Structure 1
Amino acid sequence: MKMLGIFLVASVSLVLVNGLENGLARTPPMGWMHWERFRCIIDCDLYPDDCVSEQLFRKMADLLVSEGYLAAGYEYIIVDDCWMSKHRDKEGRLQSDPIRFPSGIKALADYVHSKGLKFGLYEDYGNYTCKGYPGILGHLETDAKTFAEWDVDYVKLDGCYSDYNKLEEGYAEFGRLLNKTGRPMVYSCSWPAYQEPLGIHVSKDTWSNVTNILRWFSKNQNRIAAYAGPGHWNDPDMLIIGNYALSYEQSKAQMAIWAILAAPLIMSNDLRNIEPKFKEILLNKDIIAINQDPLGIQGLLVKTVKNIDIWIKPILPFTEGSYSYAVAFISNRVDGYAYRISVPLKDVGLNHTKGYRVEVSIYSPFTAYRSVKVL
């Protein structure tokens, strides 16, 4: 029989990652990024522990290693907006803010690498970044070379202050320039978020935005799912588990559905004081294994029963001519009442002639088989 593992959960702006074909990101990238938790806090006198500075990233790098996140697969430390000086140097090169990053970006990258981690950096395909710092327009080749010289491993390119009609061509050109440097870099491209006719923008730290993302992905899954796979992933944005906005049950739901979607698992939280119950969610080996399944198939919403969505993701092992599956039940109900639903496997496309072996978990603790799960 095929194995079918099931996780049940109490509840449940679009950004796309377009990978360069350079052998990287064969499974969805995992790591930590500062934006959703620390935004553009630049006053280090008033907020010495929370300002966007080299000290913050060094500390988060330390914690990724010491708290087991690196061992679980979270390998990238990514610096988002507000890291740079308002002005380029006399040669037109980007430079870090001299007060908050006095050692420079190359030194920070070296520190991150010394911990066995990889280093990511933000820029914007526009005249300015979203927060008004220098964008890459007019400096594409210079900036690509600078990132390579700084030993950057992951580039996030935003799309503020740009001509939306030129984004597709411009992002592709910068990708070619990154490849030309010879430095392997994961390339996270935000341009589809700015061109989408639905007007979905970068998400904020709220549960309603998580549910909006799920609605968008389900509505557009037939159009975008085929673009996900080893080297290129659809990215529903950062994990905000452990922040202020999500409850425990909502946090479980976000982790579950991000795994089913084969989405990058990029945390944006404060690792210094995250509660153990949220840390347990982020480090759950079974859920991470679903997300990191080598097949890299994006899961789909296949059925909704009594306002409960059923998502399915094909995963390994592949035996007897069929995949195994991860299945997620995500409740959209807000009435707080328990409902019993009955769904024949054939109604959700599970019709193997020999049937399935099912293992069910309530998500904590996780006991389902790695090969098939329901979140």
Structure 2
Amino acid sequence: MAVPGARWSILSLVLVVGLLVGGCAARDDDRLGGDPPAVGGVPNTPPMGWNSWNTFGCNVTEKIVRAQADALVSSGMRDSGYDYVVVDDCWSATDRASDGTLQADRERFPSGMAALGAYLHERGLKFGLYSGASDRTCTQLLGQRPGATGSRGHEKTDADTFAAWQVDFLKYDWCSVDADHDRQVDAFVTMRNALRDTGRPIVYSINPNSGVAVGGDDTVPGAAHDWGGVATMTRFTNDIASAWSNGGGSSGSQGVLDVIDAAGPLTSRVQAGAFLDPDMLEVGVAGPLTDAQQRTQMSMWAMMAAPLMAGNDLTTMTPTVRAILRNPAVIAIDQDQRVTAGAPIGDNREIWTRAIGDKGLVVSMTNRGDRRRLMTVTLSSLGLSGDATVSAVDAWTGKRYDAAKGALSVSVRAGDTALLQIA
């Protein structure tokens, strides 16, 4: 907190940092689809919830989804803000009904999708479904399931069906090696317009990426363009893996650090109702990520003002996983009503800043090394004079740090992130 003797107020600091890191989002000349929000009536802040894919993949069933929904409630996750329950690919039958409408897989979802939505709504949760932006879903395109039940050519019918089932969230997946820009825009805008026409506020989450780059700079479609007028949330990498780093390439799955680095140049696109989607949280998902690295993912998703979509098995999560996912200070940063994303300070990938509230600031310090080390951010890099008096509180530990000799310094464990809030 600033105290008498500081030459700059925290409000001035935030204004300066906004200029330094692009935290005050201006209109991107490359924005597609007009101004956000893409679909009216959805929350201004990033969606939070759970998605079936990371843990259950194509084995998802009605029984599993109901158990996960019950665990969202009993674990306190719902009360922490995680209220969307999104059933990913493989929920539908492999053929449409005789009238051309989508229908649930009869064996795995015997009660049907409307009944599942009612079950979720009765528990104070929201209902999400997946569809493909071509004639097939992703697993059908990859030859893992038969049929052709994507929504291309059926946008109005499917949007009306989703609205009738009381769906609150649609994940819409390109999943094709054909990344033709005009075809992508037409497909995603057509479904956006169909959702708008239903009059139901449905979060529209798109993934334009297809495992291939669109140019010589190794950029995928979700990063090459600002889709903020087309969708509520847009994936800007390919699928995330439960890994610290997979080498940074955009054509395969990305690790946590790879996604963070891909986000850095793009965060000025974020504003109320329009979010970068760094993919689902790997917190609690089977894999090699340490507890510290999982805290880093949670921290940096909050710094991006990103959707927080858990992907773990909620019925078996440990107290440590629950504590990471439910940390109130970190969630408050993510859900800040200012809805601006942070960005790296200069070319330092380990230190980001984000403006929050009327005059607040958050600084993240990520130790990418393999041993604990002292990390430092200078006050001058934050727009403060060297003799300013500043203190900060770590959102993870609650520990207070006071600036000394013109800098804030924190000892950070390997793979971990200090998330310092200055108010």
Shift of 1:373: 2.4
For structure 2, the residue ranges without an aligned partner over 5 or more in a row are 3-8, 14-35, 141-146, 221-236, 246-254, 402-418
**In the alignment, does 2:381 pair up with 1:344?**
no
TM-fit CA distance, 1:355: 3.8
Check the 8 A contact 1:125/1:158 in 2, yes or no.
yes
What secondary structure is seen at the aligned counterpart in 2 of 1:148? helix
Change (3 A) 1:153 1:295: same
1:191 correspondence with 2:208: yes
- Tell me how far 1:170 sits from its aligned partner: 1.5
CA distance in structure 2 between the partners assigned to 1:362 and 1:75 by the alignment: 23
Q: 2:410 matched to 1:373?
A: no
Does 1:214 find its partner at 2:260? yes
Measure the CA separation in 1 of the matches of 2:104 and 2:39: 29
Amino acid at match of 1:310: I
Q: Distance in 1 between matches of 2:267 and 2:375?
A: 27
Alignment-derived partner of residue 227 in structure 1: 269
Match of 1:10 in 2: none
Match of 1:141 in 2: 156
| 1:76 is aligned to 2:84 | yes
4+ residue runs of structure 1 moved beyond 6 angstroms? none
Q: 2-side partners of 1:30 and 1:189: how far apart?
A: 16
Q: Which residue of 1 aligns with 2:187?
A: 170
1:294 and 2:340 correspond: no
- Which aligned pairs between 1:208-287 and structure 2 lie closer than 5 A? 208=245, 209-218=255-264, 221=265, 224-245=266-287, 246-287=289-330
- Give, in whole Å, the separation in 2 of the partners of 1:353 and 1:373: 19
Q: Within 2, Cα distance between the matches of 1:161 and 1:169? A: 15
The one-character-per-residue Cα deviations of 1:300-334 (angstroms, maximum 9, x if unpaired) are 011466xx710111001x2xxxx311110011113
The reply to whether residue 202 of structure 1 matches residue 202 of structure 2 is: no
| Structure 1 segments unaligned to the other structure (5+ residues) | 5-17, 42-51
Matched residues in 2 for 1:62 and 1:373: separation? 33
- Partners of 2:49 and 2:83 within 8 A in 1: yes
TM-score by length of 1: 0.83
Tell me the residue number matched to 2:38: 20
The alignment-based identity, stated in percent, is 34
Question: Number of paired residues?
Answer: 336
Whose relative contact order is higher, 1 or 2, with alpha carbons under 8 Å and at least 6 apart? 1
Q: 1:37 aligns with which of 48, 55, 58?
A: 55
Name the SS for the 2:323 alignment partner.
helix
Shift of the 56–141 alpha-carbon distance from structure 1 to 2, 3 Å rule, reads same
TM-score (norm 2): 0.74
- 1:98 maps to a residue whose letter is R
Describe the shift of the 1:93–1:328 C-alpha distance in structure 2 as closer, same or farther (beyond 3 A).
same
The correspondence for 1:115, drawn from 110, 123, 130, is 123
